[in-house]
């Protein structure tokens, strides 16, 4: 069965899309830890990040860097934090999170509630800064 992220990439499940390359896809996390929390996913479904073959792994990291630059322009912050967990969705992904303090990366914190309009606007703003 395809992962939920494969279904998002195929357009079978809606998402707030940020950017895409030939091999990778970026969209807003549905339960954001911070405004602009974005997921970077290889289109080719592999569960564990370190099982992704080298060329795609490098593509993914290059793509993550470009999205992070766009994200920082859209959501001014001290840094874009990067983390990999993968305990919930078995499709390799990198979390990009705008942060100003260490605790902003704490996944045990309550998630933000954002309206569909806010998420849509945010995705469009990040996307407009992506090149």
The residues annotated as belonging to the active site are: 93
List 2, 31, 48, 100, residue binding ligand 5GP (CB under 6 A): 31
Residue 51 within binding range of ligand 5GP, rule CB under 6 A: no
Task: Kindly write down the DSSP assignment for every residue of 5-18, as one continuous string.
Answer: HHHHHTTSS---EE
Residue 115 in tokens: 């309206």
Residue 106 within binding range of ligand 5GP, rule CB under 6 A: no
Please give the sequence-ordered ranges of beta strands (E in DSSP) within 1-131, or none if there are none.
17-20, 24-28, 38-42, 79-83, 94-99
Residue 75 in tokens: 């959501």
Instruction: Give dist(CA 131, CA 106) in Å, integer.
Output: 30
The one segment of 26-34, 41-49, 50-58, 122-130 that binds ligand 5GP by CB under 6 A: 26-34
The one segment of 25-33, 53-61, 70-78, 96-104 that binds ligand 5GP by CB under 6 A: 25-33
Residue 87 within binding range of ligand 5GP, rule CB under 6 A: yes
What is the contact surface with ligand 5GP in residues (CB under 6 A)? 4, 15, 27-31, 39, 85-89
């Amino acid at each position: 069965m395809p992962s939920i992220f494969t279904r998002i990439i195929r357009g079978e499940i809606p998402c707030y899309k940020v950017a895409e390359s030939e091999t990778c896809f970026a969209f807003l996390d549905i339960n954001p830890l911070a405004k602009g929390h974005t997921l970077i996913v290889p289109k080719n479904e592999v569960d564990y990040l370190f099982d992704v073959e080298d060329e795609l792994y490098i593509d993914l990291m290059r793509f993550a860097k470009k999205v992070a630059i766009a994200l920082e322009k859209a959501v001014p912050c001290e840094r874009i934090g990067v983390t990999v967990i993968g305990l919930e969705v078995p499709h390799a992904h990198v979390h990009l999170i705008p942060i100003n303090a260490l605790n902003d990366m704490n996944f045990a914190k309550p998630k933000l509630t954002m309206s569909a309009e806010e998420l849509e606007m945010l995705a469009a703003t990040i996307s407009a800064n992506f090149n």
